[in-house]
């Protein structure tokens, strides 16, 4: 489906945002259109009240992080009250598995819980305990980051479907969100990784329902003709590092996506970071817009 011909309804039939595996192309487009709408309204100085008198709590281990600031900004700009619970050691893991504690948190009048942990199953565990919206905000490879990447491609390329995407790195790190996001929106995907890192059959079969999926061990071969390159920092070595030289194998107007922070020469070279094709900063700036879109679509339906 051409995203530019899509007519948004202004709603999605979902309660939670845990993984993109069960989100349709249309539901992803609803979020992207809402994010664009919110961006336009904020740029015009319009005050937003999607979360008026709503309380949204963030469960995180990080006292300071880019994704944490994005969350707080998103809730505040929507007129809501962000509440951040920073926990250390195993405390957060214990709470995510404690059904009674999560029920009590919801009972205090919280309207949504955003979970920022390294494991997606933490958000899944909490989802089973309460009826309020649960949002997975994994800061490296979660679904919010994946939609921020899609938003960047849409703005840069003017479309989503029909583009050739090269994904460099260990699929076990990013596959659950990024591969599903791109596959559902009609990208032709080449996954570039060592043979022992190949994605599971479940993800391969899912992608093949929507478009072409190729798995390639050779970086140069995989980059040929790419419109978009996604790079994951996985420390796979020099042979899987995208630089200014092998970037020339992609299309002249190719862009390079990356989830910050950047570790030079782990996935991307230092010279690549300074090139205009490297759009990681723009991608990161779309994260609050995506979070605002998700919150505005899910939280107002909450009866808590």
pTM value? 0.94
pLDDT category of residue 187 using cuts at 50, 70 and 90: very high
- pLDDT over threshold 80, residue 63: no
Q: What is the mean pLDDT of residues 13-33?
A: 94
Instruction: Tell me the pLDDT tens digit for each residue of 198-210.
Output: 998 888 888 888 7
pLDDT at 302 over 90: no
Taking 90 as the threshold, does the pLDDT of residue 175 lie above it? Answer: no
Task: State the pLDDT confidence band at 233, using cuts at 50, 70 and 90.
Answer: confident
Distance set, CA 12 to CA 26, 149, 217, 295 (Å)? 9, 20, 38, 11
pLDDT level of residue 64 (50, 70, 90 thresholds): low
Residue ranges of domains in the chain, CATH in brackets? 3-140+285-301 (3.40.50.1370), 143-283 (3.40.50.1370)
Mean residue pLDDT across the chain: 91
With 60 as the cut, is the pLDDT of residue 304 above it?
no
pLDDT confidence tier of residue 125, bands split at 50, 70 and 90: confident
pLDDT of residue 303: 58
């Amino acid at each position: 489906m051409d995203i530019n011909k899509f007519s948004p309804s202004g709603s999605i039939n979902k309660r939670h945002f845990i993984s993109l595996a069960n989100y349709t192309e249309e539901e992803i487009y609803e979020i992207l259109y809402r994010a664009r709408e919110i961006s336009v309204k904020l740029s015009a100085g319009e005050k937003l009240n999607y979360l008026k008198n709503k309380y949204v709590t963030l469960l995180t281990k990080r006292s300071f992080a880019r994704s944490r600031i994005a969350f707080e900004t998103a809730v505040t700009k929507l007129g809501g009250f962000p509440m951040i619970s920073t926990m250390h050691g195993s405390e957060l893991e214990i709470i995510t598995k404690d059904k009674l504690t999560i029920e009590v948190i919801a009972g205090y009048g919280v309207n949504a819980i955003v979970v920022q942990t390294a494991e997606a199953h933490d958000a899944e565990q909490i989802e089973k305990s309460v009826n309020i919206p649960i949002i997975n905000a994994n800061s490296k490879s979660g679904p919010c980051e994946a939609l921020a990447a899609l938003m960047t491609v849409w703005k840069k390329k003017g479309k989503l479907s029909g583009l050739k995407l090269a994904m460099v790195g260990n699929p076990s790190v990013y596959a659950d969100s990024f591969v599903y996001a791109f596959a559902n929106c009609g990208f032709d995907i080449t996954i570039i990784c060592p043979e022992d890192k190949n994605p599971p059959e479940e993800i391969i079969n899912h992608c093949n329902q929507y478009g072409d999926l190729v798995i390639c061990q050779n970086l140069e071969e995989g980059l040929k003709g790419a419109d978009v390159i996604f790079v994951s920092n996985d420390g796979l070595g020099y042979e899987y590092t995208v630089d200014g030289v092998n970037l020339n194998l992609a299309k002249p107007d190719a862009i390079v996506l990356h989830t910050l922070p950047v570790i030079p020469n782990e996935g991307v070279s230092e010279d690549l970071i300074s090139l205009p094709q490297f759009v990681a900063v723009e991608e990161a700036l779309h994260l609050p817009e995506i979070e605002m879109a998700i919150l505005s679509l899910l939280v107002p339906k909450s009866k808590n």
